Structures are given as C-alpha cells and as structure tokens.
Amino acid sequence: MITECAAIIAIILCMVFIFMRSGHGDYALSVLPLIIVPFVQIIAPFAAHLIVGMGFSKYPAMTAAVIDICALALTCVCIILTSVKIKSKKNKNLYIILMCGYSVVLTCALVSQTIAPLIAHN
C-alpha cells in the first residue's frame, strides 16, 4: 500500500499547492491533516520492526496496525484543531465529520491490509 499512500499524499499536496496559489492558505491548512495517515502508513513497517527489535512487541504487523490507529487519532485531533477557524457550527460539524470519516475509512483499509497476513496464517 506504499504506492497508494504516496499517490494520496501527492494528490493532497497538489490540493494544498492549488489552494496556496489561489490565495486560500486557510483551505490549504485545513486539508493538511489528511496527509498524516498515509504518511504514517509508509513509515509504520520500519517503526514496527524497530519496536520489535527493542523487545516491546513480538508481532510487527500488529505493531504497525497500532501505529496506524494512533495516526488516525492524531489526524482527528488535528482536524478538530483546524476546525476552530470555521465560524458556522453547521459547516464546522460537516468538516469534522467528512474529514474524520475519510480518515477512518482509509485507516480501516490500511489496517485490514496490514493484518491480513496474520489472519491468513491462523
């Protein structure tokens, strides 16, 4: 899923660039939290092997899945923090629900791919 995550990051960075060029820096800032989950998915296997090497865990795939879920929590916190500038309560709620919903769905797909080998072996 590294290729897919790199593509997601590239698309979001293109959106940020377009927003910045059009003078909407606040819009650019509001989509940046969406980069966290795919970026962490790219580095999670390396971090998981490092954690397993230190003896804190025996299962690198499960450790990578936990890292991905922590990235989801961080993403949701960042989304809520960037929503502070939205004045309309309706728009703020819609922004939080859609952005967090996208992150949850993406994380579910990534975690299922990460732990699929564990399920197949049992």
**What was the pLDDT predicted at 121?**
67
Kindly report, residue by residue over 89-116, the tens digit of the pLDDT: 999 999 999 999 999 999 999 999 988 8
**What was the pLDDT predicted at 33?**
96
Q: Reply yes or no on whether the pLDDT at 40 is more than 90.
A: yes
Mean pLDDT value of segment 73-82: 96
Using the structure block, give the residue that is written with the tokens 């795939």: 61
Cα 89–chain centre separation: 25
Give the residue numbers spanning the domain of 47: 2-121
Q: How far apart are CA 19 and CA 23, in angstroms?
A: 6
- Let me know: does 42 contact 110? Beta carbons within 8 Å: no
If one counts the domains in the chain, the total is: 1
Collapsing DSSP states into helix, strand and coil, what is residue 45? Answer: helix
Kindly report, residue by residue over 1-28, the tens digit of the pLDDT: 889 999 999 999 999 999 999 999 888 9
Express as a percent the part of the chain with pLDDT over 70.
98
Inter-axis angle of helices 89-121 and 36-54, to 10 degrees? Answer: 40
Cα 46–chain centre separation: 16
Q: Reply yes or no on whether the pLDDT at 118 is more than 80.
A: no
